[in-house]
Amino acid sequence: MEFDNSVPIYVQVINKIKRDIILGKLKAGDKMPSTRDLAKELGINPNTSARVYKEMERENLCYTKRGLGTYITESEERIELIRKEMAEELINKFIKGMIQLGFNHEDMVNFIRSKQ
Amino acid sequence: MEFDNSVPIYVQVINKIKRDIILGKLKAGDKMPSTRDLAKELGINPNTSARVYKEMERENLCYTKRGLGTYITESEERIELIRKEMAEELINKFIKGMIQLGFNHEDMVNFIRSKQ
Amino acid sequence: MEFDNSVPIYVQVINKIKRDIILGKLKAGDKMPSTRDLAKELGINPNTSARVYKEMERENLCYTKRGLGTYITESEERIELIRKEMAEELINKFIKGMIQLGFNHEDMVNFIRSKQ
Amino acid sequence: MEFDNSVPIYVQVINKIKRDIILGKLKAGDKMPSTRDLAKELGINPNTSARVYKEMERENLCYTKRGLGTYITESEERIELIRKEMAEELINKFIKGMIQLGFNHEDMVNFIRSKQ
DNA sequence: GTGGTCTAGACCACT
DNA sequence: GTGGTCTAGACCACC
């Protein structure tokens, strides 16, 4: 996996996993790879993948069964929420930024259509 | 000026100045405040404001007259470019992110309209 | 390391490292000493060695792995280019200066041979 | 006159004048423009042109007749010396730099011929 | 007065 | 441990 140097690796990995969940590549209750396997798979430090799971657990995106491994949350609501949160964040940041540049909503719509 | 703790102060200041240029508050050839004055004005360390000017100089957004001060670039093209660059970056990041979340261009347009 | 007072320390250090790369003392992908170690080694402030690495990164001479350290670029082309760039710059500056003094290419060749 | 930001303006002006002397555009005993005229002519600060004359006086390149102005030194030897000094400096810097890059005198000669 | 550089020391996030 | 950022304060050359 390619990493962008300007944002922490563990954040990038979390976002990647969130996207996989949203897109259905990972489903509620699925078992995640072990931290060591994840590390090997992504070419990152095991400490980093451990952090990924820790942060995701904090966000109730996954949970750990002692001695068994880490699993995606079984709460479908939680999963649906992630999508909304991530979209909401993107949208707000975008709109705020464009307004600061002096563009209005209609401009934004036109830009997006022009990139279609 | 209020700073967001998650992004370096000097970056935030640069973006603020870029926006002022875009919005016409600062014009080609205008003299910028001295590093010391900018520092006082924003409540930051003079080294930090010096860094702002140096990074901006590297981007050809301003230039320095030895012993006299720092001035906004006189290249109108460069200024026009800033707006495009900043907008382009925002747009691309937004579209890319939304697509990764499984949304299409029509969804994006709807979201933006709904925030109007 | 001895420093010439008339040119910034960080520039002198960068040039030293570039020369080491050119002469093969440092190779593509090699790990550089940490900023703190470099500082200790050269008797300079850690901020100054950090600046060295940051400027070099800007020139694509090295790259940073977050939390791990700084490495020489792995692009052999870039390395080959450094030598050419540095030599080119020296040569052009020399020739331009000598011509301004009213010397021609043959004079220059003679001067150089006389210093052999 | 165009100035290179990396070297003090007064040094650049001095070098320009030295070159004019060497090339015979200025001759022993010639009257130099007043500091104010020089400043206007070059688009620099009068303090800067004053410094130019002060430094040149220190180098015995010119002298001041109180109330009359500044004149190029009448010592032909001094003038001949300037040329040698400037050439010598260029040559030594060039050779030193090229050797540090791992080139030998023959390489240098070839480079110069190739730029002919 | 201006910006440029450097030191010293601190805190932080990341691996 | 690594680099990144920031503060504080100093000195300097230049205009």
Torsion of CA A56, A61, A65, A66, to 10 degrees: 20
Give the pLDDT band (50/70/90) at residue D80: confident
Q: Is residue B48's beta carbon less than 7 angstroms from any atom in nucleic acid strand F? A: yes
Mean pLDDT over each residue of chain D, to the nearest integer: 89
pLDDT in tens, A24-80: 888 888 999 999 899 988 888 888 999 999 999 988 889 888 888 899 988 888 888
Domain boundaries, chain B: 1-74, 76-116
User: Which helix or strand (DSSP H or E) is residue C98 part of?
Assistant: helix C76-100
What mean pLDDT is predicted for residues D56-83?
87
Report the CATH number of the C1-74 domain. 1.10.10.10
User: Which helix or strand (DSSP H or E) is residue B71 part of?
Assistant: strand B69-72
Residues 6 or more apart whose Cβ sits within 8 Å of residue D55 = D10, D14
Whether pLDDT at D2 is above 80: no
Whether pLDDT at A1 is above 80: no
pLDDT in tens, B71-112: 999 988 888 888 888 999 999 999 999 998 889 999 999 999
Residue A31 pairs in a beta bridge with A71
Q: Which of B84, B101, B104, B114 to mutate to test the interface with A (most CBs of A within 10 A)?
A: B101
DSSP C62-91: EEEETTTEEEE-S-HHHHHHHHHHHHHHHH
* Residue B83, amino acid: R
Helices of type H across A1-116? 9-22, 35-42, 46-58, 76-100, 105-114
What per-residue confidence (pLDDT) applies to D88? 92
Q: Which residues of chain C have pLDDT under 50?
A: none
DSSP D28-84: TTPBPPPHHHHHHHHT--HHHHHHHHHHHHHTTSEEEETTTEEEE---HHHHHHHHH
Say if strands D62-65 and C69-72 run parallel, antiparallel, or are unpaired: unpaired
Longest dimension (CA), chain A: 55
What per-residue confidence (pLDDT) applies to C71? 95
Q: What would the two tokens of residue C22 be?
A: 């050119």
pLDDT in tens, D26-36: 888 899 999 99
Q: Is A84 on the interface with B (CB under 8 A)?
A: no
Q: Is B100 on the interface with A (CB under 8 A)?
A: yes
Torsion of CA B63, B64, B70, B75, to 10 degrees: -20
Q: Which of D15, D80, D108, D115 to mutate to test the interface with C (most CBs of C within 10 A)?
A: D108
- pTM of the predicted structure, to 2 decimals: 0.84
What per-residue confidence (pLDDT) applies to D112? 94
Helix/strand/coil for A71:
strand
DSSP A36-64: HHHHHHHT--HHHHHHHHHHHHHTTSEEE
Q: Are B72 and B30 in contact (CB under 8 A)?
A: yes
Nearest to B109 by CA among A108, D75, D26: A108
Mean pLDDT over each residue of chain A, to the nearest integer: 89
Nearest to B95 by CA among D35, A7, A90: A90
What mean pLDDT is predicted for residues B33-50?
95
Phi, psi of A99 (to 5 degrees): -65, -40
What per-residue confidence (pLDDT) applies to B72? 95
Whether pLDDT at D5 is above 90: no
Min distance B58 CA to chain D CA atoms (Å): 13
User: Which helix or strand (DSSP H or E) is residue B30 part of?
Assistant: none
pLDDT top residue among A4 and C15: C15
Nearest to C115 by CA among B49, D99, D32: D99
Residues 6 or more apart whose Cβ sits within 8 Å of residue A83 = A22, B101, B102
Give the pLDDT band (50/70/90) at residue A107: very high
pLDDT in tens, C40-51: 999 999 999 999
Give the pLDDT band (50/70/90) at residue D97: very high
Residue B63 pairs in a beta bridge with B71
Q: Is D7 on the interface with C (CB under 8 A)?
A: no
Residue C84 pairs in a beta bridge with none
What per-residue confidence (pLDDT) applies to A2? 77
A67 sits in the region (left: phi over 0; alpha: psi -120 to 50; else beta) called: left
pLDDT in tens, B59-73: 999 999 988 999 999
- End-to-end CA distance of chain A: give it in Å, rounded: 27
Q: How far apart are the C-alpha atoms of C9 and C11, rounded to whole Å?
A: 5
Q: Strand E positions with any atom < 7 Å from protein CB? A: 1-10, 13-15
